[in-house]
């Protein structure tokens, strides 16, 4: 039951984009089309799961053992950047089709603060490895869900008549705010 609560809370209640404001750059930048939003969501979920496992293990078996907790942020940044590069190289050789699908989004994930934020949050919340993986995957799914919904709304907005003063960034930010308020309705679930 604990894992189900972690999953529901990460996807809906504590959505990483809409309530914790991590990953806003790709949320606003890659959300113009549903297809690109789905690709970015899948790539972020994949990298979140792998990065969380590796950073968790480094934290527990290297940083904590040798008393190097103060190196957490810089270590995690380097690990995430290296992981994304390794994943990109491996995908290019093993699965060129998947590389083509995710290849555009993988370099963007290196600078996505959502990945670093989740890696640090699982340590702060004192989750075990399995709870950390569930949280990371659920956070990725929540990120993808918010991104896809937002992209769908933006595609609809592109076909409607919007007052001149609200076109572009203003209507995008208003829509993001309304979506965040909609997700606040889930706060009573968990």
Pick from 22, 7, 29: nearest CA to 169: 29
pLDDT band, very low/low/confident/very high, at 190 (cuts 50, 70, 90): low
pLDDT band, very low/low/confident/very high, at 130 (cuts 50, 70, 90): very high
Residue 165 to residues 70, 90, 153, 159, 170, Cα–Cα distance (Å): 47, 47, 19, 17, 8
Report whether 118 contacts 50 (CB < 8 A). Answer: no
The pLDDT tens digits for 7-62 are 999 999 999 999 988 888 888 887 788 988 888 888 889 899 999 999 999 999 99
Whether pTM > 0.75 for this model: the answer is yes
What whole-number distance in Å separates Cα of residue 96 and Cα of residue 124? 37
The fraction of the chain above a pLDDT of 70, given in percent, is 97
Question: Crossing angle, helix 34-58 and helix 72-94, to 10 degrees?
Answer: 120
* Whether the predicted pLDDT of 103 surpasses 70: no
The pLDDT tens digits for 145-156 are 999 999 999 999
Pick from 182, 180, 187, 190: nearest CA to 27: 180
3-state helix, strand, coil in the chain (%, to 5): 80, 0, 20
DSSP state of 160: S
């Amino acid at each position: 039951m604990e894992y189900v609560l972690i999953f529901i809370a990460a996807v809906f209640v504590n959505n990483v984009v809409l309530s914790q404001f991590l990953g806003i750059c790709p949320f606003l930048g890659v959300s113009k089309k549903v297809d690109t939003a789905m690709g970015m969501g899948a790539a972020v979920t994949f990298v979140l799961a792998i990065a969380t496992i590796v950073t968790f293990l480094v934290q527990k078996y290297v940083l904590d053992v040798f008393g190097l907790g103060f190196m957490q942020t810089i270590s995690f940044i380097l690990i995430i950047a290296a992981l994304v590069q390794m994943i990109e190289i491996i995908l290019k050789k093993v699965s060129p089709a998947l590389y083509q699908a995710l290849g555009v989004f993988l370099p963007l994930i290196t600078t996505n603060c959502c990945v670093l934020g989740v890696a640090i949050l699982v340590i702060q919340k004192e989750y075990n490895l399995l709870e950390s993986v569930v949280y990371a995957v659920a956070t990725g799914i929540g990120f993808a869900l918010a991104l896809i919904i937002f992209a769908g709304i933006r595609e609809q907005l592109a076909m409607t008549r919007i007052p001149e003063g609200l076109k572009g960034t203003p209507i995008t930010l208003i829509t993001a705010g309304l979506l965040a308020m909609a997700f606040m309705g889930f706060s009573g679930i968990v």
